[in-house]
Amino acid sequence: MTVHDFTVEAADASERSLGDYAGKTLLIVNVASKCGLTPQYEGLESLYQDLHGRGLEILGFPCNQFGGQEPGTNDEIQSFCSTNYNVTFPVLSKVEVNGPGAAPLYQYLRSEAPGDFGPESGFLYEHIKKSRPEAIGTDEVKWNFTKFLVDGEGVVVRRYEPTVTPEEIRKDLDAALA
């Protein structure tokens, strides 16, 4: 099984096969409009503009599981992304990334790259330790803007915790696209 075996729902409720991205490097990100990390949209869009022509695809999945920071409808989210950050990469339908209702894609991503979120993550670690202590030491997505790098074969290569910025991922993307 690979990421290419999954189908997801687009913001307009149509289905999208991730098999359509075979041969492309993917960066899959759970996003939110009302988060302290929301400005990462700017960095993600910059990566997309710079690297899309070389085979990068970024897929944003809105999620409201962290502090209710993505309360809007799919249409409202699309408008927010376009108006505030000129996002041109696909922002798909809102999903759950943890728990019994987690999207199958996210169950798979978490199992393939459980993450290493720890004290070195700074302020966000302290926040999560207080607000979601049960998540520490698990494969759960800890917060908005967790990123998964997937190669052209659909294999999960790496997980980046929320505080890792798009700019910090650039060297890994350049290597994956080489």
Q: DSSP string covering 28-75, please?
A: EEEE-SSSTTTTHHHHHHHHHHHHGGGTEEEEEEE--TTTT---S-HH
Q: Can you give the pLDDT at residue 136?
A: 54
Give the Cα separation of 95 and 61 in Å (integer): 6
Distances (CA, A) of 22 to 19, 40, 86, 154, 155: 5, 26, 26, 7, 10
Entry pTM: 0.90
Spell out the domains of the chain, with CATH numbers in brackets. 3-169 (3.40.30.10)
* Residues forming beta bridges with residue 159, ordered by sequence position: 148
Looking at residue 122, what is its pLDDT? 56
Active site residues: 35
d(CA 104, CA 97): 9
Could you report the average pLDDT of every consecutive run of 10 residues in the chain (178 residues)? 97 97 98 96 98 98 96 96 97 96 96 69 56 62 94 95 93 94
pLDDT at 114: 77
* Cβ-contact 90, 60 below 8 angstroms: yes
